[in-house]
Amino acid sequence: MAAKVLIVAEHDGTKLNPSTAKSVTCARGIQGAEIIVAVFAAKPDAVAAQAAQLAGVTRVLTIENAANEHALAAVLAPQVVAVAKDCTHVLAASTTFGKDLMPRVAALLGTAQISDIMAVESANRFRRPIYAGNAIVTVETDPAATIVGTVRSASFEAAASGGSAPIEKASVNVELPTHTRFVSVSAAKNDRPDLQTASRVVSGGRALGSADGFKILYSLADKLGAAVGASRAAVDAGYAPNELQVGQTGKIIAPELYMAVGISGAIQHLTGIKDARTIVAINKDGEAPIFEVADIGLVGDLFQIVPELERLIG
């Protein structure tokens, strides 16, 4: 049977999330796959137009419904199941969006899910990290079952643009629950690059000591055109907001340059940066585990080094 992959687009109502382009690349690893991107939204046109440009996409489906204004897993899941009726694979990015939605889809389909796909070995054989990335397991599914998976964005390049897939309206006839209601979202607005897609990231840990202390990293990041990240300890202590957390339970990122400042390098943190091209560590403890993964290590006091770096780069 020819592979037919449905990718659930992630978006904020106006912009397609870059992780969707990475899921497309993952899907292209499945030989001969027809790739369909489904946009569930209140007004899907703008997002659909962006999805249609991704190279490799065969078709874009729009499922327009006022109930789809906010991404609520309980509302989306039955619609995804309806749209995926004759698909062999259903994929979404392994972001908080995909992690929330896809297991709900898998359960409705009665199928196992493959989380955090990092490599496609065949249409029904994949590799994924477990134990905070300390082991990689190869899993194989029954080829006759619908395969539901989430895609580890850091493992795939974004699909190029330049495509022009047709956009079609789809209607689904399923009853949607009203038991879940969106109230609000608070996202810090800033002009810095997005942590998940930035090519440079400056990240800080507990050593920054306070929210005020953390500001020296923002200032260095601005000089570098970098996004800012944080360890869990820094977020827990309130030095940085939760959306900056990098690691097993935060964001998994793959920048060209990752600077870990005053971060010890716990395994849960390292999981989030394994795919960074160059890791720089600045830490006053020469024995800190972060140095085991650092390409460039500098032992010293960050409160002296960071301002000096800023001056030298500036």
Ligand X SMILES: Cc1cc2nc3c(=O)[nH]c(=O)nc-3n(C[C@H](O)[C@H](O)[C@H](O)COP(=O)(O)OP(=O)(O)OC[C@H]3O[C@@H](n4cnc5c(N)ncnc54)[C@H](O)[C@@H]3O)c2cc1C
CB of 131 vs ligand X, minimal distance in Å:
12
Q: From other proteins, ligand X, none, which one binds at residue 234 (CB under 5 to 8 Å depending on kind)?
A: ligand X
Question: Residues 98, 129, 247, 255: which binds ligand X (CB under 6 A)?
Answer: 247
Q: From other proteins, ligand X, none, which one binds at residue 141 (CB under 5 to 8 Å depending on kind)?
A: other proteins
* Furthest-apart CA atoms within the chain: distance in Å: 62
191-220: contacts with ligand X (CB under 6 A): 205-207
Beta-ladder partners of 227: 201
Decide if residue 153 touches other proteins (CB under 8 A): no
Spell out, one character per residue from 64 to 83, where the chain touches other proteins: x when CB under 8 A holds, - when not. --------xxx--x------
In the chain the first and final C-alpha atoms are separated, in Å, by: 58
Helix 96-109 / helix 73-83 crossing angle, nearest 10 deg: 60
CA dihedral 149, 17, 20, 172 (to 10 degrees): 70
Buried b (16+ CB within 10 A) or exposed e, 75-114: bbbbbbbebbeebbbbbbbbbebbbbbbbbbbeebebbbb
Residue 171's Cβ-side half-sphere holds a number of Cα atoms within 13 Å equal to 1
266-285: contacts with other proteins (CB under 8 A): 267-268, 274, 278-280, 282
Bridge-based pairing of strands 257-261 and 296-299 is unpaired
Question: Residues 131, 249, 292, 295: which binds ligand X (CB under 6 A)?
Answer: 249
273-292: contacts with ligand X (CB under 6 A): 283-285, 288
Q: How many residues bind other proteins (CB under 8 A)?
A: 87
Decide if residue 122 touches other proteins (CB under 8 A): no
The residue (of 62 and 95) whose beta carbon lies closer to ligand X is 95
